[in-house]
Amino acid sequence: MIEIKNLHANIEGKEILKGLTLTVNAGEVHAIMGPNGAGKSTLASILAGREEYEITEGEVTFEGADLLDLSTEERAHLGLFLAFQYPVEIPGVSNVNFLRTAINETREAKGEDPISAKEFMAMVREKSKIVELDSKLASRSVNEGFSGGEKKRNEIFQMAMLNPKLAVLDETDSGLDIDALRIVANGVNTLKSADNASIVITHYQRLLDYIVPDFVHVLHDGKIVKTGNKDLALELEEKGYDWIKEETQVG
Amino acid sequence: MGQYTENELAKDLENQDYKFGFVTDVETETIPVGLNEDIIRLISSKKEEPAWLLDYRLNAYKTWLTMSEPDWAHVRYKKPEFQKITYYAAPKQTKKYESWDDVDPEMKETMAKLGISLEEQKRLTGVAVDFVMDSVSVATSFKSKLKELGIIFCSFSEAVQEYPELVREHMGTIIPHTDNFYAALNAAVFTDGSFCYIPKGVRCPMELSTYFRINAGGTGQFERTLVVADEGAYVSYLEGCTAPQRDENQLHAAVVELKALKDAEIKYSTVQNWYPGDKNGVGGVFNFVTKRGLCETNAKISWTQVETGSAVTWKYPSCILKGDHSVGEFYSVAVTNNHQQADTGTKMIHLGKHTKSTIISKGISAGDSQNSYRGLVQIHKNAHKSRNFSQCDSLLMTDHCGAHTFPYIECKNPSAQIEHEATTSKIGEDQLFYCKQRGISEEKAISLIVNGYCKEVLNQLPMEFAVEAQKLLAISLEGSVG
C-alpha cells in the first residue's frame, strides 16, 4: 500500500524527520506513538502534501505512484485520507455540499460520472449512522460551531463517505471524552477491510484499546526506533517514553 | 504539481478572465463628441422628446456646470475628460422592433453570447427582458403578457412617449438632478434605460430584467431606470451589465430610482460585470452610479448587488424609509481583483417610526485591488423605535490588496436600536489545504469558500441569477490567492 523509505524532512531549516522508514500493507492497522515533538504530526502532514515542509532525502511510494511528486488533491484522488487533528471550519459551506464536491472531484479525476443526488443522499444516511452523527450536522456548515467531539466524528464520517485506501488519523483521540472515543474508534473499525489500511497516530495508549493495531511503532527524534505488537503500547503506557529514549541513545 | 504548470495555469486564466470582451459588429449611429447645450438639444430631438424633458435636461446641465467631481471616495483614477466622450450611440436601425423577428441577427448573436437567450426565455421561464445596447433599448420581451395585468415594462424612451404623465410625475423625485455630479450629468444626457410601473395591488408574476451593454468605443453609457410599485404591488427586478474589452476607460453614470408606495415591495438585484480592465489596470469601466429608493408606509425595498466588474466603482444603493414601518435592505458582494477599486455601500435614512433596515456587505479583495465599504445609517428624530443591523465583512485573498470599512452612524432618536458588526479575515491556507486533502482542486476550493462566505447575499438573488453570480465570482477570483 505505502512504502516510506529513509524519509528526511525540514521545516524552516530544522530537521524533523531523520530517516523514517515504514511499510504498510493492505488490511493492516499501524499505530505510531511517540513523545511530543517526535515528528508524528509532521509525518501526517508530509503524507498529505503540506507545502511548508522540505523533503531532503528519501522516497514514498503509494499505490505504485511516487507520492512526493503528486499534489495534495492527486494524493486524495488516489485514496489517501487524513483525519485532521484540528479540523477546519468553512463557514457557509454545508457538509453535504463539501462532501459532494469532494466525491465528484475524485470521480472526475478517475474519469467517472458525478454521483447522483439520490445515491449521494442514501450514502449520507448510511454513513452518518456509523459515527452516530446527527443528520442535522450533515446539513450544517463544515465544522462550524461543532464541538470537539463532533468535529472528530465528522472527520470519520467524511472518511466513510470518501472510502479511502489509506487513512492517516492524526491524534484523532485528542480532546475526546470516552463516549466520543468509542464512537470514533467504532467507526474506524467498521470501515476496516482487507483492501484498506490505516496509520493511527496517537500520544496515548487508550485509543488502542478500541482500535487494535497490528503493529505499534515508536517514533522518536524523527525516526522509528522500535516496532512491536499491541503489547508495546501497553508497555509504553506503563513506563513512559524515557526508557525508549535511553535505549536509543545507548544504541 | 510543479511550479511550472501552476504558472502556466495562472497565465491561461489571465487571458480568459473576461469572457464578455467582444465587440458586436453593428452599424452604430453616433453624434459629435463633446458636451454642450446643442448636444443635449440634439439628443432630445433624436428621441423626439416633449419640451418639459428638454428643459429638465438643460436645467440639469446648468447645475452640472457649477458642480465639481466628488473626491471623497477611497479611489484614485484619472478624471474623465467630459468633452472627449460621445454622449449618444445607438445601433443603427431606426425602426422600432415590433417583434423578436425584427431584431438584427448580429444583436441576437450578442445576446446569445451574453447568455441571454430571449427565444428560450420566451418559451420557458418567467423572466421578461429588456436589452439596452449602448444608448438604446433594443428588445423587450413579454410586453403584451404584462400589459394584461396593467404592468408597464418598457424602455425609458418609450415610456416618455407613451406614458409621459407617469414619467413626469415620478422622475427625479427621489434623485433630483441637483443630487450629485454624476446624477446631474446623467439627468442632462441620459439616453435610455428602463421604466417599470406596477399598478395597485398587482403582484408581478415574473422577474423583470434589463440587460445593459456598452458596445461602441469612446462612448459613455448614461441610462436611467425608474421603477414605481403602486400601493400593495410587488416586483422583482434584475439588472445585468457587461462591456467589451477596451484600453480606454469608459464612463458609466447611471441613475436608478425606486418608489415603493404604501404596502408595496420592490426587490432590485444587480449583477454588475462591466469590463474591469486588464491585469495591469489598463482600461475598464468607470462605474459612477446613483441608486436610491423611497419607501412609503409599510413598504419594503431590498437591494441585492453582486459587483465583480468595473475598474472603479462608486455606488451606494440607498433607501429613504419615509413611511412608518417601512423596511430597507441592502445585500452586497463586492469583488475586486488586479487593480480594481470599489467604494460601495449604502445609506439607510430612517424618517418614519418603527422603520427597519438591514445591511449585509461582503467585500472580497484580491490582487492589488482596493475594496471599501462606505455606509450611512441615519436615524431622524421622529423615527421612534427604529432599528438597524449592519454586518460588514471583508475577505482578503492576498497580502497586497486592501479592505476598508467606513461606517457612519447618525442617531437623533434615543429609542432607536443600531447594531454594527464587522470582520476582516484572510482566506485561510488551512481551509484550502483541508479542501485539497479531500480531493478538491484549489480553484474549486476558492469558489466553495467564497460562495460560503457570500451565502447570505447570494441567497437573496433569484435562482437563475444566483447560479450566474456564483460562476461569476469563481471567474473573477481565479488564480487569485497569494
Q: How far is CA B347 from the centre of its chain?
A: 15
pLDDT at B110 over 90: no
Residue B158 amino acid letter = E
pLDDT at A142 over 60: yes
| pLDDT score at B111 | 57
pLDDT at B417 over 70: yes
CA distance linking residue A41 with residue A147, whole number of Å: 22
Interface of B with A (CB under 8 A): 1, 428, 430-431, 433-442, 444, 448-449, 451-456
Give residue-wise pLDDT tens across range A25-81. Answer: 999 999 999 888 888 889 999 999 998 899 999 999 999 999 999 999 999 999 999
CA distance linking residue B298 with residue B416, whole number of Å: 18
Residues B306 and B225 in one domain: yes
CB contact under 8 Å between B454 and A92, yes or no, is: yes
pLDDT at A249 over 80: no
Cβ of A90 under 8 Å from any chain B Cβ? yes
Cβ of A98 under 8 Å from any chain B Cβ? yes
Question: Would you state the torsion angle of the CA atoms of residues B399, B336, B304, B414, taken in this order, to the nearest 10 degrees?
Answer: 50
Minimum distance, in Å, between the CA of residue A35 and any CA atom of chain B: 25
pLDDT at B129 over 70: no
Residues B208 and B239 in one domain: yes
A69 phi/psi in degrees, rounded to 5 = -90, -5
Note the helical H segments in B2-142: 3-16, 37-46, 51-66, 105-113, 118-123
Minimum distance, in Å, between the CA of residue A105 and any CA atom of chain B: 6
Task: Map residue A35 onto helix, strand or coil.
Answer: coil
Residue in A93, A102, A141 closest to B439 by CB = A102
Chain B CB contacts of A87 below 8 Å: 434
Task: Tell me the residue length of chain A.
Answer: 251
Residues B266 and B389 in one domain: no
Tell which of B282, B315, B348 closes a domain: B315
CB contact under 8 Å between A73 and B454, yes or no, is: no
CB contact under 8 Å between B448 and A98, yes or no, is: yes
Tell which of B283, B315, B347 closes a domain: B315
Q: What is the mean pLDDT of chain B?
A: 82
Number of domains in chain B: 2
Which residues neighbour B185 within 8 Å (Cβ) at sequence distance 6 or greater?
Answer: B60, B64, B82, B222, B253
Minimum distance, in Å, between the CA of residue B241 and any CA atom of chain A: 27
Pairing of strands B207-213, B234-242: parallel
Residues B64 and B205 in one domain: yes
What is the average pLDDT across B227-240?
A: 92
CA distance linking residue A224 with residue A19, whole number of Å: 8
Task: Map residue A153 onto helix, strand or coil.
Answer: helix
Give residue-wise pLDDT tens across range B294-318. Answer: 999 999 999 999 888 888 899 999 9
DSSP A71-120: -HHHHHHTTEEEE-SSPPPEEEEEHHHHHHHHHHHHHHHTTPPPPPHHHH
Q: Is A194 exposed, middle or buried (0-12, 13-18, 19+ CB in 10 A)?
A: exposed
Residue in B440, B454, B456 closest to A73 by CB = B440
Residues B83 and B209 in one domain: yes
pLDDT band at A186; cut points 50, 70, 90: confident
CA distance linking residue B276 with residue B334, whole number of Å: 13
Cβ of A110 under 8 Å from any chain B Cβ? no
First vs last C-alpha separation in chain B: 16
pLDDT at B4 over 50: no
Residue/partner pairs of A3-7 with CB below 8 Å, 24 or more apart: A3/A60, A3/A61, A3/A62, A4/A58, A4/A59, A4/A60, A5/A58, A5/A59, A5/A60, A5/A61, A6/A57, A6/A58, A6/A59, A7/A43, A7/A46, A7/A55, A7/A57, A7/A58, A7/A59, A7/A60
pLDDT at B126 over 60: no
Residues B280 and B327 in one domain: no
pLDDT band at A159; cut points 50, 70, 90: very high
Cβ of A241 under 8 Å from any chain B Cβ? no
CB contact under 8 Å between B431 and A88, yes or no, is: yes
| pLDDT score at B257 | 96
CA distance linking residue A37 with residue A22, whole number of Å: 19
Residues B123 and B239 in one domain: yes
Residues spanned by the domain of B335: 321-482
Residues B334 and B263 in one domain: no
Q: What is the ipTM of this complex?
A: 0.95
| Partners of residue B181 on adjacent β-strands | none
pLDDT band at B443; cut points 50, 70, 90: confident
For chain A, which domains are there? Answer: 2-250 (3.40.50.300)
| pLDDT score at B33 | 82
Residue in A48, A141, A158 closest to B452 by CB = A141
Residues B235 and B329 in one domain: no
Minimum distance, in Å, between the CA of residue A106 and any CA atom of chain B: 6
Residue in B433, B442, B452 closest to A91 by CB = B452
Give residue-wise pLDDT tens across range A12-24. Answer: 889 999 999 999 9
Tell which of B262, B297, B315 closes a domain: B315
pLDDT band at B264; cut points 50, 70, 90: very high
Higher pLDDT, B133 or B334: B334
Cβ of A144 under 8 Å from any chain B Cβ? no
CB contact under 8 Å between A109 and B439, yes or no, is: yes
Chain B CB contacts of A101 below 8 Å: 440, 444, 448
| Half-sphere exposure (Cβ direction) of A77: Cα atoms closer than 13 Å | 18
Chain B CB contacts of A166 below 8 Å: none
Residues B128 and B114 in one domain: yes
Q: Which residue has the cell 425595498?
A: B301
What is the average pLDDT across B348-355?
A: 97
pLDDT at B13 over 50: no
SS3 per-residue string spanning B330-380: EEEEEEECCCCEEEEEEEEEECCCCCEEEEEEEEEECCCCEEEEEEEEEEC
Give residue-wise pLDDT tens across range B243-252. Answer: 556 666 778 8
The H or E element spanning position B129 is strand B127-133
Best B9, B362, B435 member to test A by mutation, with max A CBs in 10 Å, is: B435
Residues B416 and B273 in one domain: no
CB contact under 8 Å between A102 and B430, yes or no, is: no
Minimum distance, in Å, between the CA of residue A164 and any CA atom of chain B: 10
Asked whether the beta carbons of A225 and A244 are under 8 A apart, the reply is yes
Residues B311 and B326 in one domain: no
| pLDDT score at B105 | 65
Q: Which three cell numbers stand for residue A70?
A: 503528486
Chain B CB contacts of A170 below 8 Å: none
Task: Tell me the residue length of chain B.
Answer: 482
Give residue-wise pLDDT tens across range A82-107. Answer: 999 999 999 889 999 999 999 999 99
pLDDT at B135 over 60: no
Residue in B1, B449, B456 closest to A90 by CB = B449
CB contact under 8 Å between B444 and A105, yes or no, is: yes
Q: What is the pTM of this model?
A: 0.78
Least confident piece of the model among A222-231, B86-95, B337-346: B86-95
| Partners of residue B154 on adjacent β-strands | B195
